[in-house]
Structure 1
Amino acid sequence: MSQFSSFGLAPHLLAALERASIVTPTQVQSEAIAPACQGRDILATAQTGTGKTFAYLLPLLTHIHTDRSRMGLVLVPTRELAIQVRSSIDQLCGRGSMRIGLLIGGEPIFKQIQSLKNKPQIIIGTPGRILDHLDRGTLVLQHCSFFVLDEVDRMLDMGFSQQLSAVHQHLPESVQTLMFSATMPKIIAVLAEKYLKNPHRITIGSVTQPVVNVKQDIVYTQENEKFDCLVKELEKYEGSVIIFRKTKRDTEYLAKKLKDKGHSAEVIHGDLRQHKRVLIVDQFRKELFRIIVATDIASRGIDVSHVKLVINYDLPLSPEDYVHRIGRTGRAGKEGFAVSFVVPSENRIWDNIKRFMQGESYSSHIRSDSYSKQRRDGDRFKNDRRRSGRGYGYGEGRPSHFNRSRGNEDQGFSGRRSFNREDDVSGQRSSHFSNDRLEQPKRSERPYGGRESSFVDKQEDSRSSRSSHYNRGRSYDRPSGERSSTFGRRRSNGSNHRISTSI
């Protein structure tokens, strides 16, 4: 194994690594640092928690150390990851030793404009805010000589492809580019051909699996029994915990239930103000509370070494997100545990995750099928006409497309609305759930001769018939002792069972 001293790094960086007791480079660092310091483009894929941040920061800082007039740009998908990268630079160089511009959503843009006037040597930011500054003319990249794309797969998954292309057009042709990713979808290979020149290719481990020191368990259960299972899991393990849910509202609901049970828990999602998110992550890192309940905003970018357990309270619809969620534990060579709850309506989602982690192809159209299955099974739908909507209950039963919020918007100087798409992926990915079915047809398209009363009467008859069909064999409005035999069999004692897996 190579040593950091053999890579040609700046002396102050070697001293900082020694002070941090970082003696031996990880595999991705061993294979990436030397070629990057020699000026080569890099295309690297490695599992989460393998040290990719230092693999590009050490060459970048050495690159700037040799010529203080040089400039570097680091693009990341989320605010949390941008702040983490900034913290890593401070760890290596000392706070205030370099001029750094942090350009992320949720922060006052006028402060960022002021920092850009100081001509920062390194700019770290998210694609949306970087492009905003480029459009305003407050950021100029014609002298940028080192370009890093971190978590490329995540940025593409969040829909930043056009923003990446727009940013790349502002860079000089001679720029050195490093691309790092945890997975390798085909679109990344296409981008690599476009952005990279004769890249040095690095692949560490399996790009479809987490690191081997994460033990995965599956708990098959029912929707209304999840919380009891969660309490048991929390009692079984020690250490810090991250619990993932699909929507912002669900995180708030679950955190409140945990607090009522005496657990110390906080939430993190895209609706929180930036200073609040930073405060929560900092307190979690200092172990001031044990549990974070989060949306997929935390599935990357939160590097907390003492996280012992990750719980997928709701399965992610993207298999890649599953890998990144459980990658929050087992970091820096430590042992970690991941527990996933699977309800009947999520069986196809779990099958897709297993196929992905075994390197097989999987269906990308799971969303609408899973949603239809929920309607048929009635796992999340309550027969209570007093509640609003189309029969949905509150809290953990609500699909993600009912919990969209305008909290991800921020207002710029020019009066335009720019969306911080990095804030909450779980809310965006549900966009192809169509709401057209809730709209009334135009009068010219109404059946039954276009008469208003006939259409409404027929619609009410249809709803009544559909309601009786959905509630067949269900017991939401029955006393506990009057459950149907079908319902009783499906919800019988012992329906929760646990499976350990090493996919």
Structure 2
Amino acid sequence: MVISVSSINVYLYICVRVFNLLSFVHTSPICIQPINLFFETEDDDDYVEYVPVKRRRELEAKKILQRKGNATSVESELEPTKVVETKPSLLVQASQIKRDLPEVSPTEQMVQQEKEMMEHLSDRKTLMSVRELAKGITYSEPLPTGWKPPLPIRKMSRKACEGIRKQWHIIVDGEDTPPPIKNFKDMRFPEPILKKLAQKGIVQPTPIQVQGLPVILSGRDMIGIAFTGSGKTLVFVLPIIMMAVQEELMMPIAPGEGPFGLIVCPSRELARQTYDVVEEFLTSMREYNYPEIRPLLCIGGIDMRSQLDVVKKGVHIVVATPGRYLTLDEADRLVDLGFEDDIREVFDHFKAQRQTLLFSATMPTKIQNFARSALVKPVTVNVGRAGAANLDVIQEVEYVKQEAKIVYLLECLQKTPPPVLIFCENKADVDDIHEYLLLKGVEAVSIHGGKDQEEREYAISSFKACKKDVLVATDVASKGLDFPDIQHVINYDMPAEIENYVHRIGRTGRCGKTGIATTFINKNQSETTLLDLKHLLQEAKQRIPPVLAELSDPMEEAKQAEAVANASGEKGCGYCGGLGHRIRDCPKLEHQKSMQIAGSRRDYFGAGGYRAEI
């Protein structure tokens, strides 16, 4: 049988259709390789591989550009684009650096943060004179003096000196500290001074005098910190008198010359009290035919002509406030009040090297660090913690509503016999309480910065002489004033800064006597201030009232207060000295920053201002 080619093609076509249908119906693929082999023909050698359109266009463009002589550039242009490696973002880098750093505990973080804040606060112009800053004058050695202690004391071993300091609870910081001396006779004071000390009932030196007097008599710069009523005034008054006597014996002072020593105080009353102490010892020296030493009280409110008359004769010792016109008494207060530029101007009047002494009961770390910039190899003598309350004072804290305070005041006055000292925050309250007490028949006087000098001196002198039973005052009477007979201090208002509270209650419990301090508190006080008060009471082992005990204390909740204090070496706030908070939460620092911002705004708008002495 003959089969034609056309019939074969039809047959093959039918078979292909059948296979296609079967491959669609069956789930498993069907191999059609034999069929493909069956279709192989002689024309397979002419098969052309399929080229995509994009590739064909590239080849055509290459041929065109080759004809123009740009084949090399074409190849580079036609090469696939390389992916650029991108750098990690800053966020990724920061997280990677943080991951690589060693783990730091929360305590270490707080210590580092406080250290940076203190370094930033210490970044101030050095407390030196303008001349010294301009010429770059620095002194590397202390001022030499001719004073030497007795030979047995000079030969005292370091171990023996440390034993005496430990016995008297004296902490010393500095190079080559002179040895402590336990009696005035070995300090080589002349007979008139020794007899005057005996007349005043001062038989042996206090701890600050045991170490402070040898340091100053040796010519060393010093920072003296001791609780209120510890005898700091004598520590700088006696060496200044001895230095003036020595200079007068070597070469008598000529008219218009002097002074040899300058004592700067923050208030007129404290300057007057210091001047009286100086004059008291100089009077005793004159009775023994020692050369005449002329002191000068230079404060506001006194006739300037009488002051100039003393200057014309030649003056040896000047006791002054910065507002009118070196020992800086209540040095922290002088800096806080804004007298820093005045102190620098005073330093500028010293023609040669000077011996600088700074004293206070409250001197936070930031003031100590700043003060050291003015001193040469200073010695810091610390009796107790700076800012600690006097342990001879019984502290009573009572919650009294604002409207009930003035009535409750009369009841508090009955706790002890007079004299009693009442402190208020503002002048208006002082005047109101003074008037109220007079109406109730209480013999009272008052003092604040708004009164003239005659009224202020009358109030202080009559109260000291026990002619008046009650003195109502602002903080102008809280610093350094000595009222030996006071048994009771009343804080009508709790001061905003805890260091002012320490100075207020320090007006009683002086020279080893016991006193009482009553403080009124209510909701008007900030929580930070109350926490500082709570910690101060705990430190002094005093009774804590329920209203303070119930306060939530972040220092206790965090359980880090003691750890941070040990790691940083600073107990409480390094800026204001408060124990209830750290420097990060210091309200005084925040207030200072806001004042600086407000001051810069006033300067921008051309507003002026002035600063006067208290």
Q: Which runs of 5+ in 1 are unaligned?
A: 131-146, 370-416, 424-503
Asked if the contact 2:364–2:386 (Cα under 8 Å) also holds between the matched residues in 1, the reply is: no
Q: TM-score, normalised by structure 1?
A: 0.68
Q: 1:235 aligns with which of 411, 414, 430?
A: 414
Instruction: State the shift of 1:356 in Å.
Output: 6.2
Which one-letter code corresponds to 2:225 in the other structure?
A: T
Percent of counterpart pairs with the same letter? 32
Q: 1:10 aligns with which of 173, 176, 190?
A: 190
Aligned-partner SS, 1:288: coil
1:314 matches 2:493: yes
Instruction: State the shift of 1:156 in Å.
Output: 1.5
Instruction: State the shift of 1:270 in Å.
Output: 0.9
| Distance in 2 of aligned mates of 1:28 and 1:336 | 21
Instruction: State the shift of 1:353 in Å.
Output: 3.4
| Distance in 1 of aligned mates of 2:293 and 2:454 | 23
1:251 matches 2:430: yes
Instruction: State the shift of 1:367 in Å.
Output: 11
**What corresponds to 1:61 in structure 2?**
241
Aligned-partner SS, 1:129: coil
**What corresponds to 2:264 in structure 1?**
75
**What corresponds to 1:119 in structure 2?**
314
**What corresponds to 1:167 in structure 2?**
346
Aligned residues: 360
| Distance in 2 of aligned mates of 1:158 and 1:21 | 35
Aligned-partner SS, 2:382: strand
Instruction: State the shift of 1:418 in Å.
Output: 6.9
| Distance in 1 of aligned mates of 2:587 and 2:222 | 33
Instruction: State the shift of 1:419 in Å.
Output: 4.5
1:263 matches 2:452: no
In structure 2, do the counterparts of structure 1 residues 46 and 168 end up closer, same or farther at CA, with 3 Å as the change threshold? same
- My pick for the range that moved more, 215-224 or 338-347, is 338-347
1:194 matches 2:373: yes
**What corresponds to 2:388 in structure 1?**
209
| Distance in 2 of aligned mates of 1:10 and 1:38 | 17
Instruction: State the shift of 1:225 in Å.
Output: 1.0
In structure 2, do the counterparts of structure 1 residues 367 and 179 end up closer, same or farther at CA, with 3 Å as the change threshold? closer
Instruction: State the shift of 1:15 in Å.
Output: 2.2
1:94 matches 2:283: yes
1:328 matches 2:517: no
Asked if the contact 1:75–1:149 (Cα under 8 Å) also holds between the matched residues in 2, the reply is: yes
**What corresponds to 2:151 in structure 1?**
none
**What corresponds to 1:285 in structure 2?**
464
1:269-418 superposed matches below 5 A: 269-348=448-527, 349-355=529-535, 359-361=571-573, 362=581, 363-365=585-587
Instruction: State the shift of 1:288 in Å.
Output: 0.5
| Distance in 1 of aligned mates of 2:293 and 2:481 | 23
Asked if the contact 1:153–1:182 (Cα under 8 Å) also holds between the matched residues in 2, the reply is: no
For residues 144-193 of structure 1, give each alpha carbon's deviation from its aligned partner in whole angstroms, at most 9, with x where no partner exists: xxx21111011112111121122112223421111111112233223332
Aligned-partner SS, 2:524: helix
For residues 311-365 of structure 1, give each alpha carbon's deviation from its aligned partner in whole angstroms, at most 9, with x where no partner exists: 1101111111000010101011110110100011215232233346754233443
Q: 1:128 aligns with which of 291, 310, 323?
A: 323
| Distance in 2 of aligned mates of 1:65 and 1:367 | 44
Aligned-partner SS, 1:85: helix
Which one-letter code corresponds to 2:396 in the other structure?
A: D
Which one-letter code corresponds to 1:208 in the other structure?
A: G
Which one-letter code corresponds to 1:26 in the other structure?
A: T
Which one-letter code corresponds to 1:28 in the other structure?
A: I
Which one-letter code corresponds to 1:39 in the other structure?
A: G
| Distance in 1 of aligned mates of 2:523 and 2:588 | 14
Larger-gyration structure (1/2): 2
Instruction: State the shift of 1:210 in Å.
Output: 1.9
Q: 1:39 aligns with which of 192, 196, 219?
A: 219
**What corresponds to 1:395 in structure 2?**
none
Asked if the contact 1:241–1:307 (Cα under 8 Å) also holds between the matched residues in 2, the reply is: yes
Asked if the contact 1:317–1:367 (Cα under 8 Å) also holds between the matched residues in 2, the reply is: no
Q: TM-score, normalised by structure 2?
A: 0.56
Aligned-partner SS, 2:441: coil
Which one-letter code corresponds to 2:200 in the other structure?
A: A
1:411-426 superposed matches below 5 A: 419-421=611-613, 423=614
Which one-letter code corresponds to 1:360 in the other structure?
A: G
Aligned-partner SS, 2:351: coil
| Distance in 1 of aligned mates of 2:190 and 2:353 | 23
| Distance in 2 of aligned mates of 1:113 and 1:102 | 11
